[in-house]
């Protein structure tokens, strides 16, 4: 059975047997949940990261660190940095595949190297004829051993507040543009239509999101409890039936003055490569 082949292929890129199956997964870094807030409610990212909401959110600086796929390999991790100021947000996600052995054609080890990928993005959000609109531009960089490549992708989004009572809806078309090319092989961008919903009720906020790709879809949902805007508890779930990937998510947060510390945890079966993944995120309001 091809259990969790979607993420296993992505993890196996560290082996750098650069066939088309593996190269096709390189741009999956564009779909990684970058923060603990997002991960803890089932990877629902739009209510937290939709650029169309920029003018409604407080200015802040954020930093996240994640050790990735520890069930498969050691030393693989990524970091995410975000700066939001008024209607603009800058972010950077850097993925480190860990130190790898370099061999010659005979299989003899001749040294080591560290392959990396990164995504640099800038977005803007504001009102256009009374509609909340957001746009994002991204630069994608892959440095995989002897192969280096660049690509660009774009997002366009809208935010629809109080569609029904307190129900908010976020819609985004994500990751369309010009995919990186390795020599003569052109990779694919994970272009998707994302539809998110959020509904606050007293101290609770409920989330749900659907992500429709070319050949499959994923979904996630969760809930957050807010105690006096100081302590936060979160839980959720994520489902990708096509790639046999599903898991529960949990998280907690604490706010002190202008500082906000969040942690998330993924719980799944032992054969799930994402089981026991922990994310830590620190935010500072500015």
Tell how strand 167-178 and strand 181-182 pair up: unpaired
CATH of the domain at 114: 2.40.160.60
**Per-residue pLDDT at 2 exceeds 50:** no
The alpha carbon dihedral of 112, 151, 215, 219 has a sign of positive
Q: How far apart are CA 112 and CA 268, in angstroms?
A: 33
**Per-residue pLDDT at 27 exceeds 60:** yes
% of residues, the chain, pLDDT over 90:
66
pLDDT at 187: 86
% of residues, the chain, pLDDT over 70:
85
* Full residue range of the structural domain in which residue 232 is found: 5-285
**Per-residue pLDDT at 164 exceeds 90:** yes
Residue pLDDT, tens place only, 213-223: 988 999 999 99
The average pLDDT across 8-27 equals 54
The distance in angstroms from the start CA to the end CA of the chain is 49
8 Å CB contact between 75 and 95: no
**Per-residue pLDDT at 5 exceeds 90:** no
Q: Which of 262, 210, 255 is nearest to 234 (CA)?
A: 262
pLDDT at 34: 94
The pair of three-digit structure tokens given for residue 164, joined into one six-digit string: 């029904």
Number of domains in the chain: 1
pLDDT at 105: 61
Enter the DSSP assignment of 21.
Answer: H
pLDDT at 17: 42
pLDDT confidence band for 150 (50 / 70 / 90): very high
pLDDT confidence band for 18 (50 / 70 / 90): very low
Q: Which CA distances in Å does 112 have to 98, 105, 152, 249, 281?
A: 10, 15, 29, 36, 31
The pair of three-digit structure tokens given for residue 90, joined into one six-digit string: 């800058």
Q: How far apart are CA 30 and CA 154, in angstroms?
A: 11
247: helix, strand or coil: strand
The pair of three-digit structure tokens given for residue 107, joined into one six-digit string: 């299989």
């Amino acid at each position: 059975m091809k259990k969790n082949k979607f993420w296993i292929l992505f993890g196996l890129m560290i082996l750098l047997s650069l066939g088309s199956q593996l190269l096709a997964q390189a741009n999956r870094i564009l779909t990684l949940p970058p923060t603990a807030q997002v991960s803890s409610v089932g990877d629902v990212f739009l209510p937290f990261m939709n650029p169309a909401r920029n003018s409604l959110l407080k200015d802040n600086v954020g930093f996240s660190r994640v050790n990735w796929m520890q069930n498969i390999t050691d030393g693989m991790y990524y970091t995410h940095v975000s700066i939001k100021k008024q209607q603009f947000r800058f972010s950077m996600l850097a993925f480190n595949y860990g130190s790898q052995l370099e061999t010659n054609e005979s299989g003899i080890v001749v040294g080591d190297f560290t392959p990396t990928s990164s995504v640099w993005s800038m977005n803007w959000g504001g009102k256009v004829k009374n509609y909340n609109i957001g746009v994002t531009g991204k630069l994608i960089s892959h440095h995989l051993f002897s192969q280096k490549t660049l690509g660009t992708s774009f997002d366009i989004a809208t935010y629809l507040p109080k569609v029904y009572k307190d129900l908010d809806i976020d819609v985004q078309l994500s990751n369309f543009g010009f995919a990186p090319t390795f020599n003569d092989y052109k990779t694919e961008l994970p272009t998707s239509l994302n539809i998110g919903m959020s509904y606050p009720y007293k101290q609770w906020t409920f989330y749900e999101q659907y992500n429709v790709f070319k050949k499959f879809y994923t979904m996630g949902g969760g809930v957050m409890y807010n105690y006096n805007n100081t302590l936060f508890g979160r839980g959720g779930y994520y489902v990708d039936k096509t790639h046999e990937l599903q898991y529960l998510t949990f998280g907690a947060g604490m706010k002190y003055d202008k500082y906000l510390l969040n942690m998330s945890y993924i719980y799944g079966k032992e054969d799930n490569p994402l089981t026991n993944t922990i994310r830590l995120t620190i935010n500072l309001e500015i």
